[in-house]
Every structure is written in C-alpha cells, then in structure tokens.
Amino acid sequence: MYKAITSILILFALLSCAKKDQYPIVTQSDGKIKIDVSDLKEGVPKFLSYKEKDKTINFIIIKTGGKISSYFDACLKCYKKKQGYKYDDGWLLCKACGIRYPVESLEGVGSCYPIPIEGRLEGNLYIIKSETLLSEGVPPSK
C-alpha cells in the first residue's frame, strides 16, 4: 500500500513538472503579428505564443527605457530542453540552467541569452512579421 501511494505521488510530481507554460496566443493578419503594447509595463516581460499549423513558438516582448524589444523564449544553449525563461523580480531566469539576466540589459552575447526577434513599433502596436518567427532558426516548441 505504501509503495502504491509513493508511486502515485512520484508520478503526479513528474507530470506536474512536465507541464508546458501556457501563454496568450497571438494571431497574424497579412503576415504580421500586431501586439498592443499600450499596457506593457516598464521592465516586465510579456510572454506570448504564436501558432501556425503544428508549430507553437513562444516569445517575449519587453519594454525597457521606453524601447520595446522581442526575444524567443529560448536560447541557443538550452532551447532543446524547451523550458524557456521565467520572470523573477527584474530578471529573466533560464529554466533549464538557472542563469539569470537583468531585464534592463538583455542585449548581451552568450549562449544562454534570449535570442532577439526583429520587430518594430508603430504607435501602440509592436509588429513582428510571422515569417520572422518561423525562419529565425530556433526550432519551435510543440
């Protein structure tokens, strides 16, 4: 009986750890993803997902110093683990290896830095071409 309960608890723990994060889904129109950033808070990343056919691509948009930038929720070193980042009080933390980067200075170079995505601001809309998300060389999560 004790072994059965222990096995169930271990299975439950493993399944709960394996759960993928769920982010709001964005859609494209005319090949462009348009994200309203009027409510984006300075220094607080917003995690989003874009789906096309059987691919789901998670990404992050961040406002720092009044500038909006975007990144894959992945890095070159750890993307195969498909764990991405989490936000922790001014820092992005790689869930796979635990390396932390301050949100205020994500423009560094390193194997675990978030991979930048090209985008532009038009009024209150941050625009990313959907082909950019699909062709930047980072395998999409499933």
8 Å CB contact between 55 and 134: yes
* Amino acid letter for position 125: L
Q: Hey, what domains does the chain have and what are their CATH numbers?
A: 21-135 (2.102.10.10)
pLDDT of 13: 39
What distance in Å separates the CA atoms of residue 18 and residue 9, rounded to the nearest whole number?
A: 14
- Per the CB < 8 A criterion, the answer to whether 119 and 70 are in contact is yes
State the CB neighbour count (10 A cutoff) for residue 104: 13
pLDDT, tens digit only, all 142 positions of the chain: 545 443 343 433 333 344 455 799 999 999 999 999 999 999 999 999 999 888 888 999 999 988 999 998 887 776 666 778 899 888 888 888 888 888 887 776 666 778 889 999 999 999 999 998 887 555 455 4
Helix (H) or strand (E) holding 128, with range, is: strand 125-129
pTM (2 d.p.)? 0.77
pLDDT at 110: 65
- Alpha carbon 127 to chain centroid distance? 16
CA nearest neighbour of 140 among 48, 56, 60: 56
* Cα 137 from Cα 77, distance rounded (Å): 13
Cβ atoms within 10 A of the Cβ of 3, count? 7
